Amino acid sequence: MNGQPQPKQTLWATGSIPLHAVDQPPFTVPVSGATPAANETAPRRHPSAIPELLSRPDPEVETAYHLVRRSAMLYGDKPAIATRQLLGTKPVRRKIVRGGEEIEKEWMTYSLGPYKYMTYRQYSVLAAQVAAGLRALHLYPRESRVHLFATTSAQWLAIAHACASQAIAVVTAYDTLGEEGVALSMRQSGAEAMFIDPHLLKTVRRPLLEDQAVRVRVLVYNQASHLPIPDAEMAEFLSSAKAARPELTIISFEELRALGEANPVDPTVPRPDDTFCIMYTSGSTGAPKGVPVTHGAFVAAVAGLHALIQPAVTQEERVLAYLPLAHIFELVLENLAIFVGATLGYGHPRTLSERDMEPGCPGDMRAFEPTVMVGVPAVWETVRKGIEAKVAKTPLPLRAMFWGAVWAKETLLSWQLPGAGIIDAAILSRVRANAGASYLRFIVNGASGIAPATRRLLSVVLAPMLVGYGLTETCGNGALTSPLQWEIGNDAIGTIPPSVEVKLVSVPELGYFTDREPPRGEILIRGGPVIREYLDNPEETAAAVTVDGWFRTGDIGEFTPTGHLRVIDRLKNLVKLRGGEYIALEKLEAVYRGVACVQAVMVYGDADCTRPIAIVVPSEQALRSLAKGAGVNVDRLTEAALLADKMGLVTATQKVNRRALKEKYAKQIEECMKAQ
Of all residues in the chain, what percent carry a pLDDT higher than 90? 69
- Cβ(638)–Cβ(618) under 8 Å? yes
Residue 540's Cβ-side half-sphere holds a number of Cα atoms within 13 Å equal to 16
Least confident of 188-202, 350-364, 493-507: 350-364
Name the residue with higher pLDDT: 9 or 24.
Answer: 24
- CA 329 to each of CA 90, 106, 364: distance values in angstroms, whole numbers, following the listed order: 33, 34, 21
Q: What is the mean pLDDT of residues 358-366?
A: 95
CATH number belonging to domain 64-82+114-313: 3.40.50.980
pLDDT value at 466 more than 60 = yes
Tell me which of 669 and 529 has the higher pLDDT: 529
pLDDT at residue 176 is higher than 90? no
* Residue burial 433-471, b: 16+ Cβ < 10 Å; e: rest: eebbbeebbbbbbbbbbbbeebbbbbbbbbbbbbbbbbb
- The chain-wide mean pLDDT, for the chain, equals 89
Which of the four pLDDT bands, split at 50, 70 and 90, describes residue 7? Answer: very low
pLDDT band at 281 (very low <50, low <70, confident <90, very high): confident
Query: Given this model, what pLDDT does residue 451 score?
Result: 84
Closest CA to 79 of 112, 114, 116: 116
Q: What is the pLDDT of residues 599-647, one digit of tens each?
A: 778 888 876 677 888 888 777 667 777 777 777 665 544 433 344 334 4
The runs of H, that is alpha helices, within 425-493 are 429-435, 452-461
Alpha-carbon distance of 319 to 191, in angstroms, equals 31
In the prediction, which pLDDT does 286 show?
65
pLDDT band at 110 (very low <50, low <70, confident <90, very high): very high
Q: For the residues 535-556, what does the mean pLDDT come to?
A: 96
Lowest mean pLDDT among 11-25, 266-280, 554-568, 625-639: 625-639
User: Is the pLDDT at 558 greater than 60, yes or no?
Assistant: yes
State the Cα–Cα distance between residues 431 and 429, nearest whole angstrom.
5
Give me the pLDDT at residue 634, please. Answer: 57
Asked if 330 and 374 count as a contact pair (C-beta separation under 8 A), the reply is yes
**pLDDT computed for residue 434 by the predictor:** 83
Supply φ then ψ for residue 538, to 5 degrees. Answer: -65, -30
State whether residue 87 is helix, strand or coil.
strand
Mean pLDDT of 534-541: 95
Q: How far is CA 533 from CA 88, 179, 471, 613, in A?
A: 45, 25, 14, 36
The H or E element that residue 230 is part of is none
Stretch (H or E) spanning 374: strand 372-375
Q: Which amino acid is at 651?
A: T
**Dist. CA 62–CA 42, nearest whole Å:** 30
Which pLDDT band holds residue 9 (cuts at 50, 70, 90)?
A: very low
pLDDT 10s digits, 152-172:
999 999 999 999 999 999 999
pLDDT at residue 579, rounded to an integer? 64
pLDDT at 592: 79
Distance CA 162, CA 141 (A): 11
Cα distance between residue 304 and residue 324, in whole Å: 21
**Confidence tier at 5 by pLDDT (50, 70, 90):** very low
H runs (alpha helix) in 317-436: 328-340, 364-368, 377-392, 396-414, 420-423, 429-435
Strands 598-604 and 613-618: antiparallel
Q: Answer for the pair 492, 468: CB distance below 8 angstroms, yes or no.
A: no
CATH 3.40.50.980 domain extents, the chain = 64-82+114-313
Indicate the residue type of 397.
P
* Ranges of CATH 3.40.50.12780 domains, the chain: 372-438+440-572
State pLDDT tens for residues 65-92: 999 999 999 999 999 999 999 999 999 8
Chain center to CA of 366: 21
Residue 453 has pLDDT above 70, yes or no: yes
Where in the chain do CATH 3.30.300.30 domains reside? 578-674
Q: Residue 291: what pLDDT?
A: 96
* Burial class of residue 659 in the structure, from the number of CB atoms within 10 Å of its CB (0-12 exposed, 13-18 middle, 19+ buried): middle
- For residue 577, pLDDT beyond 70: yes
Give the right CATH number for 372-438+440-572 from 3.40.50.12780, 3.10.20.30, 1.10.287.1080, 3.40.50.620.
Answer: 3.40.50.12780
The whole-number pLDDT of residue 534 equals 96
CA distance 199 to 204: 10
Q: Can you list the alpha helix ranges (DSSP code H) found in 190-230?
A: 201-210
Architecture of the structural domain at 578-674? 2-Layer Sandwich (3.30)
- pLDDT tens for residues 224-240? 999 999 999 999 999 99
Q: State the Cα–Cα distance between residues 124 and 70, nearest whole angstrom.
A: 10
Residue 560: the pLDDT is 96
* Total residues belonging to the chain: 676
> Is residue 580 within 8 Å of 506, Cβ to Cβ?
no
Taking 60 as the threshold, does the pLDDT of residue 181 lie above it? yes
Reported as type and span, the H/E element at residue 110 is: strand 101-112
Mean pLDDT confidence for 493-519: 95
CB neighbours of 161 closer than 8 A, spacing ≥ 6? 64, 65, 68, 127
CA distances from 89 to 85, 227, 644 (A): 12, 9, 28
How many helices and strands, by DSSP H and E, does the chain display?
Answer: 21, 28
